[in-house]
């Protein structure tokens, strides 16, 4: 593209140069290279150039060439002439169209095409450029003003094929008789489309990004379809071009490939049939169990519920993990961040939470972003082994998938969750993890030539996650009372919670569970750091029984950690300090919990009541977990009434506390 093109075209328009003079000028320039050499040479004086222009070129254009010959390369005149003629046609209301057909049209047919173009565009005249294209098989395609009128036999046959496949899947009718009946019906109604489609042309493609010229009316976030069948989503709109991310391979897309609009924003199919299935970021099944019958279609980008549509968080979503349910409770509709270094048990906490929802009328969605396919397969195996896949949907965008699919995956997973939420159901969604999601978005943004900011992330990376997590909420009873509880996961580097992405997500969420590497490697699992973890919903998301049972647990643990650091180099300790340290070590031991073994509410309450009542003080630390297991088994067998009371009333009065302590004493004796 020549710089200052508008300046040259404007000069030609001002001089009112005719199309005939433009053609004569092009002929003179093309006749010999010597003309260009003279006019482009800096050693030839300007007066001699003007004399040569006056002798060789038409008078109407000589003055223009002389005026711009100082800074214009004459050999580039063809490109300027093309832009000028297009502007001239626009000024004179002349439509330029390209007719692609298999055989050369007759003069009468050409007049018909000309009349058709004038009617569709409202132009006073039309110019038709004929291009032979045997791949159309029959019929024709007209491109005019960025619109395409496709009446080719190739497109009609493709539409018939799509109809056959769609009806065959819908009706489970794939036998020859069924296909023939569909074909007969479709061929009987054989008609060419009369409406035009807006068409764009690929300027460049690479790394999952395509730049397209045309598509002037396209929407941000709209799905566009390439002639190879690959879909993309518009993510960048500039003055003359559109940038889009591709949802498939770009092997069959090249410069000059054609693109058409779908007039639909990106969305995913949703429905009850998705439960128990594994799908990709576009909602397509990848578990080999056949197609999924969708009940609806939801856009991946949706506005979050307004303030008046939300209800405060008041109902607990129990994780089954004692350390979390007792000190950092999670409520239905809350967003609780799980944050920590690599390999510290972040996914394990999310997995246990999903397993603990069995029989609690909660639909779980696990969204894997940028993970190895083998890792996701192992997790799905664990879910299946525990029977959790019966109420779980897995939305997967692995590390092998393009950055575009990793970027859209959490929004697609949230759209699926919203389908259930607006039906009045409770959902739990795990984003594993949003660090990789931010990295995928950074890659896309840099390829789209957006300016990088802190840590090379684009300026809107905060908005990336805030608009995602704001969609998790609890709705008012008038809207069905459904909820989405979000557990986003963020991976830190060397425990640095002050990095860009961690601080962003911490400020968006309603609390965080911080997992510490030192605790993890010392055998404290889950490795929850009591000091840095917090739930901003707090006791509002706890049952009365748990709130009362937990009591001073967090304060006791904080005192133990402080005393442990203070006394680690002391050899001579008084009995009271030794007792406090022994009590604190016992609490830490009780908070250890093996993977895949979530605890019920009753077991958690019983454990806490006995622990805070100093019922475990005399038990040796190495035998603590064994003693706890046998104690809870004793309650299950001998004191079922206590467990039933806790589960039924979800309260803990003094009388019930005494019954628990009395039963524990009896077990000890």
Contact (CB, 8 A) for 371 and 545: no
Q: How far apart are CA 427 and CA 420, in angstroms?
A: 7
Q: What angle do CA 99, 102, 107 make, to 5 degrees?
A: 60
Omega of the bond prior to 261 within 30 degrees of 0, cis?
A: no
- The three-class DSSP label of residue 429 is strand
Which residues does 401 contact at the CB level (< 8 Å), separation at least 6? 280, 281
Q: How many CA atoms does the CB half-sphere of 648 hold within 13 Å?
A: 7
Contact (CB, 8 A) for 74 and 35: yes
Contact (CB, 8 A) for 344 and 517: yes
Q: How many CA atoms does the CB half-sphere of 137 hold within 13 Å?
A: 9
**Residues paired with residue 430 on neighbouring β-strands, in sequence order:** 366, 487
Query: What's the token pair of residue 32?
Result: 């010999």
Query: What are the backbone dihedrals phi and psi of residue 509, each rounded to the nearest 5 degrees, phi first?
Result: -85, 175
536 is annotated as an active-site residue: yes
Query: What's the token pair of residue 185?
Result: 């019906």
Query: What's the token pair of residue 334?
Result: 């809350």
Which residues does 535 contact at the CB level (< 8 Å), separation at least 6? 327, 328, 329, 330, 334, 336, 510, 511, 541
Query: What's the token pair of residue 206?
Result: 């690479």
Provide the Cα torsion 290, 296, 302, 306; round to 10°.
-130
Contact (CB, 8 A) for 383 and 448: no
- The three-class DSSP label of residue 139 is strand
DSSP state of 531: T
Q: How far apart are CA 490 and CA 407, in angstroms?
A: 15
Spot the catalytic one: 154, 310, 467, 536. 536
Measure Cα distances from 119 to 95, 99, 113, 156, 179 in Å: 10, 15, 10, 24, 39
Catalytic sites, residue numbers: 536
């Amino acid at each position: 593209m020549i710089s200052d093109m508008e300046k040259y075209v404007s000069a030609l328009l001002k001089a009112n140069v005719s199309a005939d003079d433009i053609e004569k000028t092009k002929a003179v320039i093309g006749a010999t290279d010597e003309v260009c050499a003279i006019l482009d040479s800096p050693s030839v004086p300007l007066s001699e150039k003007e004399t040569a222009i006056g002798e060789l070129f038409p008078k109407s254009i000589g003055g223009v060439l002389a005026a711009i010959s100082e800074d214009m390369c004459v050999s580039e005149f063809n490109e300027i002439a093309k832009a000028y003629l297009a502007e001239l046609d626009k000024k004179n209301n002349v439509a330029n169209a390209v007719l692609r057909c298999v055989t050369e049209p007759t003069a009468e047919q050409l007049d018909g095409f000309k009349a058709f173009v004038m009617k569709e565009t409202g132009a006073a005249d039309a110019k038709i450029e004929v291009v032979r294209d045997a791949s159309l098989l029959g019929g024709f395609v007209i491109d005019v003003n960025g619109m395409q009128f496709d009446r080719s036999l190739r497109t009609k046959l493709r539409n018939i094929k799509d109809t056959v496949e769609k009806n065959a899947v819908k009706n489970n009718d794939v036998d020859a008789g069924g296909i023939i009946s569909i074909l007969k019906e479709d061929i009987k109604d054989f008609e060419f489309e009369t409406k035009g489609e807006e068409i764009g042309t690929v300027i460049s493609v690479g790394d999952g990004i395509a730049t397209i010229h045309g598509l002037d009316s396209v929407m941000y976030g709209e799905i566009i379809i390439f002639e190879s069948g690959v879909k993309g989503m518009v993510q960048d709109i500039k003055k003359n071009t559109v940038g889009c991310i591709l949802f498939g391979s770009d092997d069959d897309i090249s410069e000059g490939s054609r693109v058409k609009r779908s007039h639909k924003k990106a969305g995913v199919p949703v429905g009850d049939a998705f439960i128990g299935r594994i799908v990709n970021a576009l909602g397509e099944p990848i578990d080999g169990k056949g197609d999924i019958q969708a009940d609806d279609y939801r856009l991946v980008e949706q506005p979050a519920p307004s303030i008046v549509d939300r209800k405060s968080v008041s109902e607990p979503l129990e994780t089954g993990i004692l350390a979390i349910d007792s000190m950092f409770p999670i409520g239905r509709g809350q967003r609780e961040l799980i944050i920590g270094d690599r390999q510290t048990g972040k996914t394990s906490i999310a997995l246990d939470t999903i397993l603990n929802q069995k029989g609690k009328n909660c639909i779980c969605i696990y969204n894997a972003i940028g993970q190895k396919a083998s890792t996701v397969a192992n997790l799905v195996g664990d879910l299946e082994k525990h029977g959790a896949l019966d109420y779980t949907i897995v939305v997967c965008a692995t590390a092998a998938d393009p950055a575009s699919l990793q970027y859209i995956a959490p929004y697609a997973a949230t759209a699926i969750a919203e389908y259930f939420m607006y039906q009045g159901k409770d959902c739990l969604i795990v984003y594993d993890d949003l660090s990789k999601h931010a990295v995928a978005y950074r890659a896309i943004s840099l390829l789209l030539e957006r300016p990088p900011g802190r840590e090379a992330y684009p300026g809107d990376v905060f908005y990336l996650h805030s608009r995602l997590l704001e969609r998790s909420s609890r709705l008012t009873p008038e809207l069905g009372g459904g909820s989405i509880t979000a557990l986003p996961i963020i991976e830190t580097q060397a425990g640095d919670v002050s990095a860009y992405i961690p601080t962003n997500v911490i400020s968006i969420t309603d609390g965080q569970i911080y997992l510490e590497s030192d605790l993890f490697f010392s055998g404290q699992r889950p490795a929850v750091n009591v000091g840095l973890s917090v739930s901003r919903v707090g006791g509002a998301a706890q049952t009365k029984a748990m709130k009362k049972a937990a009591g001073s647990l967090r304060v006791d643990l904080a005192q133990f950690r402080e005393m442990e650091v203070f006394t680690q180099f002391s050899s001579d300790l008084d009995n009271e300090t030794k007792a406090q340290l022994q009590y604190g070590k016992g609490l830490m031991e009780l908070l250890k919990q093996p993977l895949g073994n979530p605890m019920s509410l009753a077991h958690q309450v019983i454990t806490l009541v006995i622990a805070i009542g100093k019922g475990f003080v005399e038990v040796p630390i190495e035998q603590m977990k064994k003693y706890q297991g046998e104690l809870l088994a004793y309650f299950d067998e001998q004191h079922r009434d206590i467990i039933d009371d806790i589960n039924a009333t979800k309260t803990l009065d003094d009388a019930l506390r005494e019954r628990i302590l009395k039963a524990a004493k009896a077990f000890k004796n």
